[in-house]
Amino acid sequence: DVRYVLQTTLEPDRRSMVFRVDHSQAHDIRAGWGFMRVRPYKGNRTLVSFGALVDIGDGVFVSIIRPAVRKDLLRIPFYFKRHVEGQVAALRTDSL
C-alpha cells in the first residue's frame, strides 16, 4: 500500500477542487497535485475534468509500485462518477 494524505481546496466560483499531497502527514510519494472540475454540458448533462501529476520518487521499490499508482490514478474518475450517481439515486429514492 502507498500512504498519503491530500489537502483539498474547493473553488466554487470555478466549480473545481484542487488537491495536493499534505507533506506534514506521513506519505510514500514525493509530490502530487491535481484537480477536478465540473461544468454544465449539453442538455441536462455534466462534464467532469480530472487531472493529476504524481512524483512517486526513484528506486527499486518505486519501479515495482509505479504501475499500481498509475492504475489507481486512472480509476479516480470512475470512482467519482459511481459516487455521484449513487448520491443522485439516493436523493431520488428519498424524494419518492
Rounded to an integer, the average pLDDT of 10-14 is 95
With a pLDDT cut of 90, the percent of the chain lying above it is 43
C-alpha cell at 73: 490514478
- CA distances from residue 85 to 3, 8, 58, 76, 89 in whole angstroms, order as listed: 27, 22, 38, 14, 6
C-alpha cell at 66: 509505479
Whether the CB-CB separation of 8 and 29 falls below 8 Å is answered with no
Rounded to an integer, the average pLDDT of 42-70 is 86
Q: What is the mean pLDDT of the chain?
A: 88
Residue 21, exposed/middle/buried by CB under 10 A (0-12, 13-18, 19+)? buried
pTM: 0.71
Model confidence at 62, in pLDDT bands (50, 70, 90)? confident
The pLDDT score that the predictor gives to residue 11 is 96
Residue 89 CA to chain centroid, in angstroms? 21
Least confident of 17-21, 26-30, 31-35, 59-63: 59-63
